[in-house]
Structure 1
Amino acid sequence: MSKPFRSAATILALTAGLVGAATVLYVWNLPPFRNSVQMTNDAYVRGQVTLLSPQLAGYLVDVPVRDYQRVRRGDLIARIDDRIFVQKLEQAKAALEAAEAELSNSEQSQKSAEAKILSAKASVESAEAASEAARAAAARSENLLKSNIASQSEAEKNRAAFGQARAAVHQAEAAELVAEQDLNIVVVGRRSLQANVESARAAVKLAQIDLSNTRITAPQDGTLGEVTGRVGQNVSVGTQIGSIVQDEVWIVANFKETQFSGLRAGYEVMFTVDALENKPFKGRIERFAPATGSEFSVIKADNATGNFTKVAQRIPVRIFIDRNQDEVERLVPGMSVVTRIDVAQSLDPEVTRK
């Protein structure tokens, strides 16, 4: 091969090598092609997906919704046979009425005990008055006996009457004490009856809650996923019968730690959606994850074992989506997006304050 041809082949090979190296440097955003735009395709639309399941066990008797149906908060998703729970509620209400009746009887017993105390006090006063009269009669008899005006038998009779009167006073005082103790027993028992009433009321509320839980309703506005509940199906607590996706969506973009230094909350974000023919949308950075994604993994790698190869970690970044855009309502959780952030932009003071 002649020297000119060898020189041309050498130049062509060098040119191809330089173009290839430049392409690699450009694709990987390395010097001298590094710019202020940070880009990642490790980004996805995220949203709140709530699994729907019953809090009670039973048979489904009604599933009025269908897959991918639009629902509003409180709409019926499924209903469990409620006959048992209706009867349990009636039973709890009957127990409450019985407890309230016992408490009412206790109130009447307390009034009766208080009346007995008043009667016992009156008996004490009457016995004391009779005792005082008997004491005076006995004293007169003693004086008359000393003057030989009254007989010994009459004096002894008056002394005996005085003793009986004193005994009657003690008996009346004892009856008053008994009446007071009866009142204390009623009062203490009433506290127990009041506790029984509160317990019965709580049982009624629990029965009402169980009855209301036979209706499985939408917790928020949104769109249903696949409805797996079927009429006649015997479900238990926690059985998944469907899911609901709420309206609010956002983006989580996983940037490499080498791209993280220039990112700031409030920066405008441009992103394209694969499923919508790379249609561009706008958003802004809301906040950053408190740790890299590897820290949240179930099985964490231990870098202290074996040979070590440094791998750039990724930090999740939450991106708010501007809702005032065409077709933004078509964004659903799980869609793949490509995000681009110009780290040379200046922050809007209004956005910074927010």
Structure 2
Amino acid sequence: MAEADPQISQENADVQAAAPQKRSIRPLRIALMLALPLAILVAGVFYWLGLQGKVTTDNAYVKQDMVAVSSEVGGKIVDVLAHEGDMVGAGDVLFRIDSEPYQLQIAQADAAIATAQANVTAMENDTDLTGVDIAAAREDIAFARSKLERQQALWERGFTTRADYDAATHAVAQAEEAMRQAQARQTEARARLARGAAVPGTDPRIAAAQAQRASAELNMRRTEVHAPFAGRVAQADRLQAGQQVLPNLPVLTLISEDSTYVEANFKETDLAQMAPGQRAEVRFDAYPDLVLRGHVASIGAGTGSEFSVLPAQNASGNWVKVTQRVPVRIALDEASPRALIAGLSTHVTIYTEEGE
């Protein structure tokens, strides 16, 4: 028998040595294939459990109460005491408007008061009011009647003419008519001096002139525009000396930093377990390391679309259901070490399993 080929014998030995190694690699691959989906499943379960008992949204922004400050009177700005970014206190003067036109209005009102007082004095001393004309008319009536009596006696005796008798009768009628006219003028004069119930004890003309002066004084005071509350000045680019101001046209914006809160817009599907008083955490995009505690102050009375300028008309034929957002007000329970600026983006988490 011929001897076996040494090369073939060596290959058989290599195959026999590699067989156990292949059998050990196959279970490892199977374990890895099973471990990866299992790890993903476990991670998903932990993530789902982490979401239970809380709702989150990143559609939330810092809000602060703000007022557009305007002047109630028109005129030229002559003095500016507040500038962009300044902190002002309640009642501080922000700017002043030229007061000279309103000083002239006060002077005109004083003149109107003096004129009204002079007119009242003249009417009080008018002869129609004093009754002089009435007294004179009474004397004329008495004289005319006595003359008529004499003419009547002479007429009965035949010592006078019919013309003289008729003239005496006519003189009595004229005197009585003059008496009625004098009484009417006196009544009219008293009516002109009457005091109305709205301003008892004061002549209406004088009261009107006094009201005109009070209005001029009010406009004079309004030439100084004061801060309605303490806050920071913003949008003051139109606040320049020499600028012409129109009444009720905003000149600057005053932001109250003491009224900072967060308005978070949650999906309507997140509201089932949400209630005022629940604890909240607020994170800020501008300050990644800052986390502030807060609580749910209130839940909006309507969705954002309901309060929009053009609400959606879902009665149309081409209707697509969109998950609505409801504004939720988050009150901050602690002061921020960093400046909170109106409009900053935030991330809000509400813990719904905690009661009020």
Relative to the length of structure 1, the TM-score reads: 0.74
Contact 2:123 2:129 in 1 (8 A): no
Contact 1:56 1:210 in 2 (8 A): yes
Code of the aligned partner of 1:204: R
* Number of residue-to-residue matches in the alignment: 324
Deviating more after overlay: 117-126 vs 175-184:
117-126
1:181 aligned onto 2:187: no
Instruction: Give deviations 1:301-334, integer Å, cap 9, x for gaps.
Output: 45545473x4322111123334xx4447954432
1:258 aligned onto 2:269: yes
Equivalent pairs: percent with the same residue? 27
Contact 1:131 1:162 in 2 (8 A): no
Query: 2:217 aligns to what?
Result: 208
Among 96, 111, 114, the residue aligned to 1:94:
111
Query: 1:351 aligns to what?
Result: none
Superposition map of 1:50-65 within 5 A: 50-65=67-82
Distance change in 2, residues 1:321/1:101 (3 Å): farther
Deviating more after overlay: 177-186 vs 115-124:
115-124
Superposition map of 1:1-354 within 5 A: 3-15=26-38, 17-18=40-41, 21-22=44-45, 26=47, 30=48, 34-109=51-126, 112=129, 114-125=131-142, 127-128=144-145, 130=146, 134=150, 138=153, 156-157=159-160, 166-187=169-190, 196-228=205-237, 229-246=239-256, 247-275=258-286, 278-302=289-313, 304=316, 306=318, 308=320, 310-322=321-333, 325-327=334-336, 330-347=339-356
Deviating more after overlay: 5-14 vs 159-168:
159-168
Instruction: Give deviations 1:60-90, integer Å, cap 9, x for gaps.
Output: 2110223322222332111122222222332
Which whole-Å CA distance do the structure 2 matches of 1:79 and 1:114 have between them? Answer: 56
Which whole-Å CA distance do the structure 1 matches of 2:309 and 2:167 have between them? Answer: 93
Contact 2:282 2:293 in 1 (8 A): yes
Which whole-Å CA distance do the structure 2 matches of 1:316 and 1:121 have between them? Answer: 87
Distance change in 2, residues 1:318/1:133 (3 Å): same
Deviation at residue 91 of structure 1 after TM alignment: 2.0
Code of the aligned partner of 1:67: E
Relative to the length of structure 2, the TM-score reads: 0.74
Which whole-Å CA distance do the structure 2 matches of 1:330 and 1:110 have between them? Answer: 78
Match of 2:343, SS? coil
Which whole-Å CA distance do the structure 1 matches of 2:166 and 2:318 have between them? Answer: 108
Query: 1:149 aligns to what?
Result: none
Which whole-Å CA distance do the structure 2 matches of 1:53 and 1:36 have between them? Answer: 47
Which whole-Å CA distance do the structure 1 matches of 2:215 and 2:352 have between them? Answer: 56
Instruction: Give deviations 1:226-265, integer Å, cap 9, x for gaps.
Output: 4321112233345543221123222222121111111223
RMSD: 3.7
Contact 2:280 2:294 in 1 (8 A): yes
Task: Choose 1 or 2 for highest CA Rg.
Answer: 2
